[in-house]
Structure 1
Amino acid sequence: MAEHHWVSTTIDSELPPFAVQAGHDSDGSPIFVGRAYHNGDMLVAKIVPNKGQAYVAWGGEEVNKHDIEVLTGHNYHWVPDANGAVPAGAVACGQTSLGETLYVGRGYHADSLTPGKIHPSQGCLYIGFGGEEVTLTNYEVLVRNY
């Protein structure tokens, strides 16, 4: 099974070719899948190029990040799931400082379709929105066809 291709960049740079789109912000701006380190965790990041912003959800907050990695490639799709579960082929973004694997998910909130981290042991998807970390139990999981 091939590895996923994460491209290191900054939010000030143009997105690399074939960046994987995750959804849209409440104003319709496209959001892309990224990841970033925060407090020892590698977390899913929502990248909003039109706003020059990237965020991770952590500790009840939406945290702004500058140095990020962007997921690029083809053959990705989204599969419905819930309550911390992920299907076979789910895309891992990294792990917590305690070693738990986190997965790329997305969910609907306040007219947005926003990516975030699926935290299996906590039974949910966490997304950053409006400065806060929002908990969703129904979500979609990013998977890849090889």
Structure 2
Amino acid sequence: MAGTYRWVPACLNQGSIPPGALRVGTDADGDEIYAGRAPHEGEIVPAKVIPNKNVCFISFCGEEILKDQFEVLVPTFFAWQFASNGELPPGAVNFGVTADGERLYYGRVTRDGLTTPGKIQPSHGCCYFPLDGGEQSSTEYECLVLI
């Protein structure tokens, strides 16, 4: 898997993301959402990056949290595969880790016609995602996999 993707440091005051960044969804007003990750309270958490709004959000302990320092995923060969109830399809790539050492995976959920990224936490049986100022969850999601 080495060399098939890389994490590129970014921050909100840069106003842009690296070329080739992985687009993972669309916000309610049509803005593009990109795959990211950010450190938070000893963890590395999957994030959604919306360059047009100059924001990066993670979902954590029931909240949608704005992050200034983050990394953006620049992939080579990725695809989305449906999964549910904390299951991971073959090729799921570890994108973060909890303070207790549990691996987190990049997921996305489509709800009411909107697709937004989040974190799959297998032990919780769901994908958490930041939306409308809070943390939402879904037991059905798509998982980002390396092909």
Q: State the TM bucket, normalised to the shorter chain.
A: over 0.9
- Stretches of structure 2 lacking an aligned partner (at least 5 in a row): none
Structure 1 length-normalised TM: 0.95
Cα distance in 2 for residues equivalent to 1:56 and 1:46: 7
Q: CA RMSD in A?
A: 1.1
Q: How many residues align?
A: 145
Alignment of 1:26-105 (within 5 A): 26-105=28-107
Q: What CA deviation, in whole Å up to 9, does each residue of 1:49-89 have, x standing for no partner?
A: 11111100001000000100000022111000001111121
Supply the AA of the counterpart residue of 2:57: Y
SS of 1:121's partner is: helix
- Stretches of structure 1 lacking an aligned partner (at least 5 in a row): none
Segment drifting more, 103-112 vs 93-102: 103-112
| Alignment correspondent of 2:10 | 9
Q: CA deviation at 1:110?
A: 4.0
Cα distance in 2 for residues equivalent to 1:81 and 1:73: 21
Cα distance in 2 for residues equivalent to 1:11 and 1:112: 23
**Superposition misfits of 4+ residues, deviation over 4 angstroms:** none
Structure 2 length-normalised TM: 0.95
Q: CA deviation at 1:111?
A: 3.3
Q: Provide the identity percentage.
A: 42
